[in-house]
Structure 1
Amino acid sequence: MNLFRESLVVARRDFLSIVATPTFLLFLLAPLLMVGFATIGGVSAGQVVKNAEDMDRLMIIVPAMERPAFIETDRRLRSLMRKPPLVEVRDVASTSEAAIARWRDDGAVLAILTGTAANPVIAQRDKQGAAGTYLATLAEAVAREGLTGAADPAAASRPRFTELEARGPGKAARSALAYGAVFTLFLLTLLLAGQTVSMLAEEKGNKVIEILAAAIRLESVFFGKLLGMLGVALLFIGFWATLVGLGAGLVLVQAPADVLATLTLAPALGWPLFLILGLLYFLMAFLLLGAVFLGIGAQAGTVREIQLLSLPITFLQVGMFGLASAAANAPGTQLATIAQWLPWSSPFAMAARGATDASLWPHVVALGWQALWVAITIWLSVRIFRAGVLRSGGSWWPWGNRASAPVAEDRVAT
């Protein structure tokens, strides 16, 4: 409790020293200068769209004797098309009703053909789209080859079209939502967590850090500064979330009913839980990266050194963003597992997982894992700072040998 109270004192001091200044208004308006990130978002969003197109598919469920003919005909016609969707041909005898119902709910399934080549029933999602027409062409080609015993060659296939309505979003849409969560967390941490790199430079210059180190634990100083910057970050997010929410509300009030009907995309966990987890993962990402930046920045003594340290810090952030983005575009793969277990990319990757996977227990484990690494990172940062800057040894256990550490730190301050 003493450690926590000391941390709150430092956090309150740093929070007020930042917020109660005119320059904080410039910090609040900084997103207006972030237009350059639209380029990064556009390139990554293009990759998401490409992945979405690759995931679109057509389902064909026919008797076993017609299945080889459909596969061969699709292979021939596919070579004539520019970007044909994926076609899956299934045997009706081995396909369950539950699987068909699941495909109907999957927004990535554009059309489903059932029945036979002579009398196909084509359920299509878009009446004006080419998916239903392609399946009808396939059935016509198979029927004309005489595999179904059609009596009238002029009308070998008589398709019947129905409407295919999806009751849930497709995998591609949820992958896009997962990437959006990764990009949002990355943008916020890049803008906010990077500020911690220069927090100790001024106090090292005017010897305030030695006074703090002699009065309270260094762990309290580091953790308190992180909490202070976290309070600034949450104030920043609350300010912009309010503005964006009010603006979106005004737009939706004026939007037509057909536009509102299209806003049905929901993450696998549901919006309330997804947003709560998103906030928790932002807190973990901020504390994890902020602890790293604070530890690195504590070694700098001048503004020039801080500027030199900013480059590797930026590389670290972009690297974690790239890894988490790849995991969002390929859920369930080994790459996604690596991104979810690597501490500094774990908050981004797990936020993306919440959009595509409805399991809750992995998030509980991930939050505990990330909290453990926050403590480890602060512990290492304090040890390096004490040995490299204060030139004092002390115990390598953060709360051990409490009597000797302040004496050494006080001697340095004196």
Structure 2
Amino acid sequence: MKHFLSKIMVIARRDFRAILFSRSFLFFILGPLFPVIVAWMAGGIGASVQGAAGEARLGIAMSETESALISDARQSLHHALPRLPGLEMLQGDRNGTGEIRAVMADGPGERNVAAVLAGTLDEPSLSGPSNRIAAWQGDVSLLVDEARRLRDLRAGARQREWPAITLQPMAQPSQVDEAGGRIRTAQAGQTLLFLLTMLLAGMVLSNLVEEKANKIIEVLAAAVPMDAVFFGKLLAMLGVSFVGIAVWGSAAALVLVAGGSGLSMLATPAVGWPVFILLCIAYFACAYLLLGSLFLSIGGLAATVREVQTLSMPVTMAQLLVFFLASYALGHQGQPVEMAAAIFPFSSPFAMLARAAMQPEIWPHFVAIAWQALWVFLIVRAGAALFRKTVMKSGPAKGRRGLGALLSQSVRSFRRA
């Protein structure tokens, strides 16, 4: 056993160094960062353009007295409703439809008037595009009501008192909020696990096909048992994947810190953040090894890149169905569908990661990880045996090859006769 493990580590170190220090891996690591940089630049340019356009403002076309009341009303409400639109006082009493339309036709200029409030406080009218006046209807109603209150107050009416609301913050969120937050955490963990697995597992397939084309795999198989070759390649690619995740995770952390956000946007999982992160790493390793072992078996059957794409497509589609199954099971904790998703090896990492976010028990995860490791061992052994039979052609010829040899011998005998 010790000798077998040493052979696995030899293959793993060889593949790890060969891939990690290759130029293709460097471009592979930098590839996902380019869309993030482009999106960040596009967001900055969009914000700059939006700032250049200016904030949409509400034009006030009332008498001087009532316009001043509207302005005072906005200042009075601004501390409670900072989203109220900015005001632009229009000179004169512009109640004519043509004049109002001319004001808004100026477009993004210094005033940038998107809608105009005209008429009087008792009979106000809001003019502008239908979507804009529908969105501002509630804000304008508050402004007019507050302006009427200020007018009545200055006329000697009794001041209206706003009701005092006593705030009683709770140390713990409600059960509904906590459950909803944990569901979002579980969904985020499942999605991230699925994307990373699908993005990185393909490297196993391409690496094996390349070595088959260069006849390197035959040299390795002559020196090392095929099981050790497969296990070593899987461990090497897992190590390379962790390097890629470390680079992408560092970049994501810098973006989150620069944006002033972090894990606080997600609810604390039931097992706690430290244990949840460790389980994320463990279940990623299991999901990667499961899918990678399946891809290795496919790579052992394929002779060309076209065959690889043909054979791997059903596996990719099946993996999508597995992810959908685990996502559906998230909303049915403790039910048969959730148990089935946790037992099925390819959906087990996703379902158990969701369970870690929803339920505080730790012991089921040790059982699940051992179960998934067993399936990795079985798939690799089956893939290595299939590789020996189909590619290395070790063992007696059976099935079609035996029948073909018999037919060929019969044809030769017939010709000699």
TM category (shorter chain) comes to: 0.5 to 0.7
In 2, Cα distance between the equivalents of 1:247 and 1:262?
15
Secondary structure at 1:200 match in 2 = helix
Residue type at the aligned position of 1:187? L
Change in Cα spacing, 1:354 to 1:384, as seen in structure 2 (3 Å) is same
Contact 2:183/2:358, CA 8 A, preserved across alignment: yes
Moved more, 242-251 or 19-28: 242-251
- Structure 2: which amino acid aligns with 1:337? M
Paired residues of 1:179 and 1:329 also in contact (CA < 8 A) = no
RMSD of the TM alignment (CA)? 2.4
| 1:339/1:346 contact within 8 Å kept | yes
Which has the larger Rg?
2
Q: Residue 335 of structure 1 corresponds to which residue in structure 2?
A: 337
Report if the CA contact (8 A) 1:7-1:220 is conserved.
Answer: yes
Partner of 2:28: 27
Partner of 1:297: 299
Question: Which residue is 1:353 aligned to?
Answer: 355
Cα deviation, residue 345, structure 1: 0.7
1:281 to 283, 286, 295: 283
1:202 is matched with which residue: 201, 207, 210? Answer: 210
Q: Does the C-alpha gap of structure 1 residues 319 and 264 become closer, same or farther in structure 2, counting only changes over 3 Å?
A: closer
Q: How much does 1:317 deviate?
A: 1.8
Q: Tell me: CA distance 1:264–1:210, structure 2 relative to 1, closer, same or farther (3 Å).
A: closer
2:360 is paired with a residue whose SS is: coil
Equivalent-residue separation in structure 2 for 1:166 and 1:297 (angstroms): 55
1:185 maps onto 2:186 in alignment: no
Instruction: From the superposition, tell whether residues 172 and 242 of structure 1 become closer, same or farther in structure 2 (CA, over 3 Å).
Output: same
1:13 has 2:14 as partner = yes
The CA distance in 2 between the partners of 1:290 and 1:278, in whole Å, is 17
1:239 corresponds to:
247
Distance across 1 between alignment mates of 2:8 and 2:328: 37
**Which residue among 218, 223, 227 is the counterpart of 1:219?**
227
What's the counterpart of residue 388 of structure 1?
A: 390
Q: What SS does structure 1 have at the residue aligned with 2:301?
A: coil
Contact 2:204 2:295 in 1 (8 A): yes
**How far apart are 1:262 and its partner, in Å?**
6.5
Q: CA deviation at 1:19?
A: 1.6
Alignment pair present for 1:267 and 2:272: no
Distance 2:263 2:273 in 1: 17
Q: Describe the SS at the equivalent of 2:378.
A: helix
Asked if the contact 1:198/1:294 (under 8 Å) is kept, the reply is no
C-alpha distance after superposition, 1:209-229 (max 9, x if no partner): 222111111111000010111
> 1:290 and 1:245 mapped to 2: Cα distance?
27
Counterpart-to-counterpart distance in 1, 2:19 and 2:354: 32
CA distance in 1, matches of 2:231, 2:377: 9
Q: Which runs of 5 or more residues in structure 2 are unaligned?
A: 40-164, 397-417
**Gaps (5+ residues) in structure 1?**
39-159, 395-414
- 1:249 Cα deviation (Å)? 2.5
Q: 2:179 aligns to what? A: 171
Residue identity matched to 1:351: L
Is the 1:14–1:225 contact (alpha carbons within 8 Å) kept by the matching residues of 2?
Answer: yes
Return the match for 2:320 from 295, 318, 324. 318
Distance between the aligned counterparts of 1:189 and 1:264, measured in 2? 22
Distance of 1:183 and 1:218 partners within structure 2: 34
Change (3 A) 1:251 1:211: same
Say which SS state the counterpart of residue 199 (structure 1) adopts.
helix
Listed as ranges, the matches of 1:73-112 within 5 Å are: none
Post-superposition offset of 1:172 = 1.4
Following superposition, the deviation at residue 34 of structure 1 comes to: 6.9
Contact 1:178 1:355 in 2 (8 A): yes
Distance 1:264-1:188 versus aligned 2 partners, 3 A rule:
closer
Matched, 1:248 2:256: yes
Residue in 2 that maps onto 1:154: none
TM superposition shift of 1:165: 2.9
Q: Name the aligned partner's letter for residue 322 of structure 2.
A: M
Is this contact kept in 2: 1:6–1:220, CA < 8 A?
A: yes
CA distance in 1, matches of 2:304, 2:20: 24
- How high is the sequence identity, in percent, across the aligned residues? 44
So what's the TM-score if we normalise by structure 2?
Answer: 0.60
| TM-score, normalisation: structure 1 | 0.60
> Could you tell me how far apart the structure 2 residues matched to 1:367 and 1:361 are?
10
Q: What is the number of equivalent residue pairs in this alignment? A: 265
Residues 261 and 275 of structure 1: CA distance in aligned 2, closer, same or farther (over 3 Å): closer
Q: 2:308 aligns with which of 306, 309, 316?
A: 306
Larger mean CA deviation between 342-351 and 323-332 belongs to 323-332
Note if contact 1:200-1:298 (Cα within 8 Å) is conserved in structure 2. yes
Q: Offset of 1:339 from its aligned partner?
A: 0.7
- Identify if the C-alpha distance between structure 1 residues 245 and 32 changes in structure 2 by more than 3 Å, giving closer, same or farther: closer
Q: Distance in 1 between matches of 2:266 and 2:204?
A: 39
